[in-house]
Amino acid sequence: MVNFFDESGERIYHQWYDDPINQNQAVWSDPYVSSKGNLITSRVSPVWQNGEVIGLLGMDLDLTQVAADINAMTLFESGL
């Protein structure tokens, strides 16, 4: 569960939640380290109904795996 308020009752900013709503469009999050220690970025889009945001739809992209896949590639015969 995500906390949206700190102990004093102040609203906590969450990029993955606030940016798509404030910008009224899909956004990529800044990369962050997951609880498993992987480098992750998220794509999150607001979902509208009758002109009102009713939720968010998102996905996570594991950049650790993307980097491993790219590093495993061999380009041409020399690997360059």
pLDDT at 78: 66
| Between 12 and 28, the higher pLDDT residue | 28
Identify the weakest region by mean pLDDT among 14-18, 33-37, 39-43, 46-50.
14-18
**Average pLDDT over the chain, rounded to whole?**
89
Interatomic CA distance for residues 4 and 13, integer angstroms = 7
pLDDT at 80: 58
Name the nearest CA neighbour of 15 among 36, 34, 30. Answer: 30
